[in-house]
């Protein structure tokens, strides 16, 4: 009898949990489809709340990436950069981690926070040494944090050595 009671309670909890998740996803979808709200703080916060409440759900990493993108495009670059970094750190096995590291590095570079940008670029280099964009990210890491004068000197030195691989 206790076993049956436990099964019924477990089923009810699971059903309620799935209904809450389905409702949240439906609410997010409605916000995304509303042209006035598709870049709003309401949508950003809905994405983040969903990921906070359901960190292991398949959509959580993607929702955080969407939130980060909206933040960066709406001049909330610091918040967006931190969200990209969160995706990279919390969803290590997810296929979007390389893009999160690149986007986060670029966002931190524009703030500017070159040390943080370099950290994300170096994390990318370590984790994805065979990625198609590895050479590009290596260059970004190399140049991250250099002053304009240092960049100019490197550019000039490469011109003088006829090395055109920028």
CATH of residue 154's domain is 1.25.40.10
What is the reported pTM? 0.81
Could you tell me the two tokens for 121? 């670029």
**Considering the domain boundaries, does residue 84 fall inside one?**
yes
Range of the domain at 45: 2-160
Domain tally, the chain: 1
Residue 6: its pLDDT value, please?
A: 41
What does the pLDDT look like over 70-103, one tens digit per residue? 999 999 999 999 999 999 999 999 999 999 999 9
**Considering the domain boundaries, does residue 166 fall inside one?**
no
Q: Which residues contact 101 (CB under 8 A, 6 or more apart)?
A: 84, 88, 120, 121, 123, 124, 127, 128
**Considering the domain boundaries, does residue 76 fall inside one?**
yes
What does the pLDDT look like over 125-150, one tens digit per residue? 999 999 999 999 999 999 888 777 88
Number of residues in the chain: 166
């Amino acid at each position: 009898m206790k076993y049956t009671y436990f099964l019924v309670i477990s089923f009810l909890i699971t059903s309620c949990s799935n209904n809450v998740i389905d409702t949240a996803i439906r609410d997010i979808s409605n916000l995304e489809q509303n042209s006035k709200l598709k870049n709003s703080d309401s949508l950003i916060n809905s994405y983040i709340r969903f990921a906070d409440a359901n960190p292991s759900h398949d959509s959580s990493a993607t929702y955080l990436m969407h939130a980060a993108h909206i933040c960066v495009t709406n001049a909330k670059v610091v918040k967006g950069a931190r969200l990209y970094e969160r995706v990279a750190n919390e969803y290590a096995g997810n296929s979007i981690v390389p893009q999160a590291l690149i986007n986060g590095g670029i966002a931190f570079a524009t703030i500017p926070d070159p040390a943080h940008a370099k950290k994300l670029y170096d994390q990318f280099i370590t984790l994805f040494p065979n990625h198609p964009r590895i050479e590009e990210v290596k260059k970004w890491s190399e140049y991250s944090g250099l002053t304009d004068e240092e960049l100019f000197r490197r550019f000039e030195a490469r011109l003088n050595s006829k090395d055109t691989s920028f």
